[in-house]
């Protein structure tokens, strides 16, 4: 398991910091994992899964 920091998350997803925070608040993007008092990171697998969902589109169950 690998943790990635904010600049890499933003670069991978292609959106702004404010958009990321809005999506987290709406529970539409993975929440960060606290690393310390002022440091957070995201689980790389969670971010990759979010990106794959956008590429694959909605499920047609």
pLDDT at position 20 is 97
The whole-number pLDDT of residue 59 equals 65
Residue-number span of the structural domain to which 23 is assigned: 3-56
- Give the number of domains in the chain: 1
Q: What is the pTM of this model?
A: 0.86
Higher pLDDT, residue 30 or 60: 30
User: Is the pLDDT at 61 greater than 90, yes or no?
Assistant: no
How far is it, in rounded angstroms, from Cα 43 to Cα 48?
9
Q: Check whether 60 has a pLDDT greater than 60.
A: no
The model's pLDDT over 4-50, given as tens digits with 9 standing for 90+, comes to: 999 999 999 999 999 999 999 999 999 999 999 999 999 999 999 99
Q: In this structure, is residue 31 part of a structural domain?
A: yes
Residue 61 lies in a domain: no
């Amino acid at each position: 398991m690998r943790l990635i920091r904010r600049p890499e998350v933003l670069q991978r997803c292609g959106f702004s910091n404010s958009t990321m925070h809005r999506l987290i608040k709406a529970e539409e993007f993975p929440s960060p994992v606290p690393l310390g008092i002022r440091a957070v990171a995201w689980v790389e697998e969670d971010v990759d899964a979010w990106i794959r969902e956008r590429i694959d589109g909605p499920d047609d169950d």
